[in-house]
Amino acid sequence: MKWIIYVLLSLGNATIGNSAPENKAPNIGVIHEDSTDPSYQIGKLLRCPVCQGMPIADSPADMAQAMMKKVRELQAQGRSENEILKFFTDRYGDWVLLRPKAEGMNWFIWIFPPIALLASLIWVFRRSKPSPMETNEKTDTKLNSNSNDDPYIKAVRHLVDEE
Amino acid sequence: MSLRTVILLVGSAIIVPLIMILASGFGNDPHAIPFVLQGKKLPPLELLSLDGQKISLGGKRTKPIVVNFWSTWCEPCKAEHILLQEAARNLNNKVEFYGVIYQDTPEKTREYLQQKGSEYPHLIDPNSSVAMDFGITGVPETVFISAEGVVLHKHLGVLTPPILFKQLSELVPGGLN
Amino acid sequence: MHATTGNTLILSSVALALAGAILSFSAGRHNSPTGTKWGRWCAYGYAATMVLANLVMVRALLVDDFSVSYVAQVGSRSVPTWVSVVSLWSSLEGSILFWGAILGFYMVGFCKQLENRYPKFVPYANGVLLLNAAFFAIVIAGPANPFQIMDPIPLDGPGPNPLLQNHILMVVHPPLLYLGYVGMSVPFSIAIAALLRGELTSGWLKPLRYWTMIPWTFLTLGIIVGAWWAYEVLGWGGYWAWDPVENASFLPWLAATGYLHSTVVQERKGILKVWTLTSVICAFLLTILGTFMTRSGVFNSVHSFTQSSIGPIFLGFLATTAIFSMALLAMRSHLLEDEGTIESPLSRESAFLLNNLIFVVFTFTVLIGTVYPLITEAIKGVKLSVGEPYFNQMATPIGILMVFLMGIGPVLPWGRPSSKDVIRGLLMPASIGLLGAIMTILLEPSTSTTTLLALGVCTFAATVTAQELINLVRSRRARHLEPLHTSIQKTFASHRRKVGGYIVHFAIIAIVAAIAGNKTWKESVEASLTPGKDFQLGEYTFIYKETVGESHPEKFSILASFEVFHQDSTLGAMQPKLNYYRSQREPIGTPHVRTIGNQDIYLSLLAFEEQGRRVVVKAYIMPMVPWIWWSLPIIMLGSLISLWPRRKSNALHTGVVAT
């Protein structure tokens, strides 16, 4: 984490003309982030309170920047991801987590997708079984009875078969 | 189970709850953010005021307090400042007022207050960490804390005289009059 | 003047739509060609009045007629002409008016195409379309009326939402998306007509497929262009945030895509009928849900319109349509029984069925995630957020599985294949997929396992797709002696749907690969600089020169100038901007995006000090993102091949010419 030489700037959203906030010591700061940066990863999990559903890691808003700085600070103190997340939920509630905790009612949204996928797989396997001759016959007669009154179907079948 | 039953069962199991959930959203404000401190004791906090005094918020005290988060780049905050000045001048024996400078520099604030007057202390919040402790989501926001140190209410946005009056009446035991 | 004309036109369109619906339904019941004709003329009338009403509104916006409520709300004297036109869809009332006009265009296209065909179904389909049109016309006439008369007349307006003024893609994105959304009402009407009529002949499925392909194409393009807009405007180096409104456009896309796949099986094997009709109906219902999400004020989103009272109306419409459709499906369930079976889990049918189920699971995952905060709020009174990290975590395995099936499906033969055939077909693509993953890890050792898996699966699916296309041409060449290009042309012409589908698959694979690659290889730097200072990102060096202000009638822009070097050679200037609009305090950025090879350099201005004494910028290297935008023409090409009408001789041959 050597490359995190971070200087937070209290540079606000300067409104035109009058009030770009000053900062007396203009240090040159550079933070490098990539997908392996743990602070960035945590910042991706926290919702910026002044934006519209954005994570603090991506938001340029002052408050998000301040929160990002807090994340880095806590990380530098050696706090774990869970402790850092707790720091923010203590202040903004579970609302601040963009990924709900897997607990209580929230289990529903966590287990629904995997279970539904699994159930789909099982269902497809159970549904597909070699058919006895009799079903095939039934199919044929039904198809024919449907198609007789519509000349168009032949054309469509012709086209489909071609593919 | 016949196909008809399946369609009706699955269909209703999806449509009915979905419509109910969507309908339940009408009363909500999707922008509202929960205020965790509501009804809780404020943890002890130490801050520096603009003139270098150490000031602690939180804990049991003699008077209820009003904490206003603001900054000079926020136009509504400036309008609100006039109202709070007035309130502080008239009620300083009943309520303590504090301003917390949000995302702004002490210099700018000092300059502004010199022009417009300052009836109550303004506290410096480097790194916005006090703002985070109060779960602030923007400015202006005003927090009302009882003399026992319990956070009673947070007002988002500009205070108007009736709103401030109502909140203060609830804050001061026995009312304002 | 505009207001009165507009209101008259809207009221006429209400009357025409209602009258047309009644005429069409009764014509359907009594098999009356005259009634059908009159119903059709009402549809044309509705379209004409609606389009005229839109033109009246555009004119009012262009001449700044602030006596019209909508112009007073979004118009402004200071905006450029193109912004005035775009204002038509920039706010709630106008966007619904625009919706009405697009519905009109679709109705004209649909009626014209099927004018003398399918006399048993067309009147019902027209009736459903007109009823739908009547609903929107009534909403425009009443609760969301853009033509109210202002008194007193304001001197100027605030202009549309600055986010919409900021990029030219906003001219393209909403119309594309609306063409996708609104168009879903056509396949819905076709499906409902079949159910009302109580006949499900395959002949009627052809227009159903055709009229789903069209909005599907627009919706796909609309979603991608929307992502592009977000990328070019929002300035945070992202293109998709799983925001409720983005999800709202993704949901009908999932359902419609599910339909396009299940219909192949239905036509061929007579199975999955329930799936087919249900997904078409759901695609339409989900567009209404999306409209509700965007316009009810119940969801918090960057894209949503301001709160309004029309939420309950749309919810009522959604509930009514959903319950009616379900009842109708149940009533006609005897038509939906499968006529065949799936004989082997390794067959093409199984792959299609599984694919459909995965689309359903994906749809529900996104839907439940999006509404979950409402559920906890209603049940426990707890406010929660469900955002990007959750959706990414869920969508990643589902997406990889989908691409995997995209690769497996075409290899599996119909019916009851032997495992040997399957293995033989898969051997080559699977090895190439594996090779792709190995190459990736060798070139970029830092790649995450998930990305590796995704890229491997993408390579696999791309190989299968290419192999299938080559095989099609090859099997023709085995039978005909002709030059290669003739073979390709003839093969493509006789397998339009398959070839078109495979071409679209390439585009989807490219998008998935781009998302996966970008996720691990994205890099960024945030820097605060004084003039003359520089910072580095990857092999690029950015030198900060100066900041200048630029004044426009509607905004004031701050431009920070950088010179960018790649190693030692200069790439020229990059100028990210911050724009301050009159109506809004928070600035809107215009990041500077430069595409170099298959990656973007993305420079975003976050903050500045007076006279540009210092600026804060964020620079990103975004590998593979251009692939997402390159997929746009590929999708268009694939869809066009699929939709291209057959030659007349072919139509004659099928025996369905005009009677």
- What residues 322-381 of chain C have any CB closer than 8 A to a CB of chain A? 339-345, 347, 349-350, 353-354, 357-358, 360-361, 364-365, 368-369, 372, 375-376, 379-380
For C446, name the nearest residue in chain A, comparing CA atoms only. A36
DSSP chain A: -TT-B--------PPTTT-PPP-SS---EEEEEETT-HHHHHHHHBB-TTSSS-BTTT--SHHHHHHHHHHHHHHHTT--HHHHHHHHHHHH-GGGBSS--SSGGGHHHHHHHHHHHHHHHHHHHHH--PPPHHHHHHHHHHHHHHHHT-HHHHHHHHHHHH-
Which pLDDT does position C493 carry in this prediction? 86
C86 contacts C170 by C-beta, under 8 angstroms? yes
C446 touching chain A per CB within 8 A: yes
Task: Quickly tell me which residue has 């024996």 as its tokens.
Answer: B93
Compute the distance between CA of residue A87 and CA of residue A143 in angstroms, rounded to an integer.
Answer: 66
| d(C-alpha C62, C-alpha C51), whole Å | 16
A54: its two tokens: 């954005």
Q: Which of residues 70-99 of B touch A (CB under 8 A)?
A: 71-73
Residues of chain C with Cβ-Cβ distance to A154 below 8 Å are 654-655
Distance of CA C279 to the CA centre of its chain: 16
Give me the percent of chain C exceeding a pLDDT of 90. Answer: 54
Q: Specify the pairing of strand B96-101 against strand B65-70.
A: parallel
pLDDT value of position C359: 94
CB < 8 Å to A149, chain C: 201
Give C-chain residues touching A155 at CB under 8 angstroms. 653-656
The pLDDT mean for chain C works out to: 89
The predicted pLDDT at position C369 comes to: 95
Residues A40-54 pLDDT 10s:
889 999 998 877 778
Q: Per the CB < 8 Å rule, is C580 touching A28?
A: no
Which helix (H) or strand (E) segment is C60 a member of?
helix C33-62
Q: What is the DSSP letter of C305?
A: P
Cβ within 8 Å of residue C195, ≥6 positions away: C277, C328, C329, C331, C332, C335
CA distance A4 to chain C (A): 10
pLDDT at C302: 60
Least Cα distance to C521 among B103, B2, B160, A35 occurs for: A35
Distances (CA, A) of C622 to B32, B61, C10, C396: 34, 55, 47, 19
pLDDT of residue C583: 64
Taking an 8 Å cut-off on Cβ atoms, the answer to whether B11 and C312 are in contact is: no
Is there a contact between B147 and B60 (Cβ–Cβ < 8 Å)?
A: yes
d(CA C47, CA A131): 51
- At B35, the pLDDT band (50, 70, 90 cuts) reads confident
Question: What is the model's pLDDT at position C584?
Answer: 66
Residues C536-544 have a mean pLDDT of 91
Q: Is 70 exceeded by the pLDDT of residue A76?
A: yes
Q: How far is A153 from chain C (nearest CA, A)?
A: 5
Q: Which residues of C637-653 are buried (b: 16+ CB within 10 A; e: fewer)?
A: ebbebbeeeeeeeeeee
CA–CA min distance C142, chain A (Å): 31
Substitution target in C307, C326, C580, C614 with the highest count of B β-carbons within 10 Å is C326
User: Does the structure show a pLDDT above 90 at C551?
Assistant: no
**pLDDT band per the 50, 70, 90 thresholds, residue C104:** very high
Has residue C107 got a pLDDT over 70? yes
Q: Which residues of B touch A92 (CB under 8 A)?
A: 33-34, 36, 135
CA-based diameter of chain A, in Å?
88
Give the minimum alpha-carbon distance from A47 to chain B in angstroms, rounded to a whole number: 11
The pLDDT of residue C227: 93
Q: Which has more confidence, B137 or C640? A: C640
Q: Which of C326, C371, C585 sits opposite B22 (nearest CB)?
A: C371
Q: CB neighbours of C109 closer than 8 A, spacing ≥ 6?
A: none
Length of chain B: 177
Is C374 within 8 Å of B4 when comparing Cβ atoms? no
pLDDT score, position C639: 93
Report the pLDDT averaged over residues C112-133: 91
Q: Supply the pLDDT for residue A140.
A: 42
pLDDT reading at C322 higher than 50:
yes
Strands B122-124 and B96-101: parallel
Please report residues of C whose CB lies closer than 8 A to that of A49.
none
Q: Which residues pair with C579 in a beta bridge?
A: C557, C588
Contact C529, C514 (CB under 8 A): no
The CA distance from C330 to C321, in Å, is 14
Q: Verify whether the Cβ–Cβ distance B136 to A49 is below 8 Å.
A: yes
To 10 degrees, the CA torsion angle through C53, C54, C56, C57?
A: 120
* CB-CB under 8 Å, A139 with C236: no
Q: Are strands B96-101 and B141-145 parallel, antiparallel or unpaired?
A: unpaired
Would you state the pLDDT for residue A130? 62
Task: Classify B67 as helix, strand or coil.
Answer: strand
pLDDT at A27 over 90: no
Q: How many CB atoms lie within 10 A of CB C414?
A: 14
DSSP C539-576: TEEEEEEEEEEEE-SSEEEEEEEEEEEETTEEEEEE--
Would you call C620 an interface residue with chain A, using a CB distance cutoff of 8 Å?
Answer: no
Region of A149 (left: φ > 0; alpha: ψ -120 to 50; beta: rest) is alpha
* Closest of C111, C113, C140, C134 to residue C123, by C-alpha: C111
What pLDDT digit, counting tens, does each position of A95-154 carry?
999 999 998 899 999 999 999 999 999 988 887 766 554 444 344 444 444 444 455 555
Provide the pairing of β-strand A29-34 with C523-529.
Answer: antiparallel
Residues in chain A: 163
From chain B residues 13-42, the ones with a CB under 8 A of any chain C CB are 15, 18-19, 21-26, 28, 30-34
- Tokens found for residue C560: 């920070």
Neighbour count for residue C543 (Cβ, 10 Å): 17
Q: Quick check: C526 and A31 CB within 8 A?
A: yes
For residue B133, the chain A residues in CB contact (below 8 A) are 91
Handedness of CA C295, C299, C305, C308 (dihedral sign): positive
Q: Which of C143-157, C248-262, C540-554 has the highest mean pLDDT?
A: C248-262
| Facing residue for A67 by CB, picked from B73, B132, B133 | B132
Contacts of C323 in chain B (CB under 8 A): 15
Nearest to C333 among B4, B23, B28 (CB): B4
Q: Give A-chain residues touching C589 at CB under 8 angstroms.
A: 60
Contacting B residues, span 78-137, partner chain C, CB-CB under 8 Å: none
Question: Residue C268 and residue C246: Cα distance in Å, rounded?
Answer: 34
- What is the structure's pLDDT at C60? 94
CB contact under 8 A, B8 and C326: yes
Residue C658 pLDDT: 37
CB contact under 8 A, A66 and B133: no
Worst-scoring range by mean pLDDT, A76-90, A116-130, C317-331, C442-456?
A116-130
Confidence of residue B126 (pLDDT cuts 50, 70, 90): confident
Q: Is A23 on the interface with B (CB under 8 A)?
A: yes
pLDDT at C308: 63
Least confident of A141-145, C301-305, C342-346: A141-145
Q: What are phi and psi of C119, to 5 degrees?
A: -60, -20
Work out whether strand C599-608 and strand C615-623 pair parallel, antiparallel, or are unpaired: antiparallel
Whether A9 and A29 have beta carbons less than 8 Å apart is answered as yes
A16 touches chain B (CB under 8 A): no
Q: How far apart are CA C128 and CA C184, in angstroms?
A: 12
**Tens digits of per-residue pLDDT, C580-601?**
877 666 678 889 999 998 999 9
pTM of the model: 0.89
Which class for B152: exposed (0-12), middle (13-18), buried (19 or more C-beta within 10 A)?
Answer: middle
Q: Which two tokens stand for residue A138?
A: 């039934």
pLDDT of residue C17: 96
| Radius of gyration (C-alpha) of chain A in whole angstroms | 30
Alpha-helix runs per DSSP H in C381-412: 388-411
Q: Is residue C418 pLDDT above 70, yes or no?
A: yes
**Maximal CA-CA distance, chain C:** 82
Q: Looking at chain A, which subunits does it touch, using at least 3 CB pairs closer than 8 Å as the criterion?
A: B, C
CB contact at 8 A, C299 and C293: yes
Residues in B closer than 8 angstroms to C383, CB to CB, are: 32-34
- The pLDDT assigned to C647 comes to 59
A7 touches chain B (CB under 8 A): no
Which chains are within 8 Å of B by 3+ CB pairs? A, C
Are the beta carbons of C169 and C229 closer than 8 angstroms?
Answer: yes
pLDDT on residue A8: 24
CB-based contact (8 Å) between A146 and chain B?
A: no
Q: Which residue of A has its CA nearest to C209?
A: A156
Task: Name residues 7-26 of chain C within 8 A of A (Cβ).
Answer: none
Put simply, the answer to whether A30 touches C270 (Cβ < 8 Å) is no
pLDDT of residue B46: 85
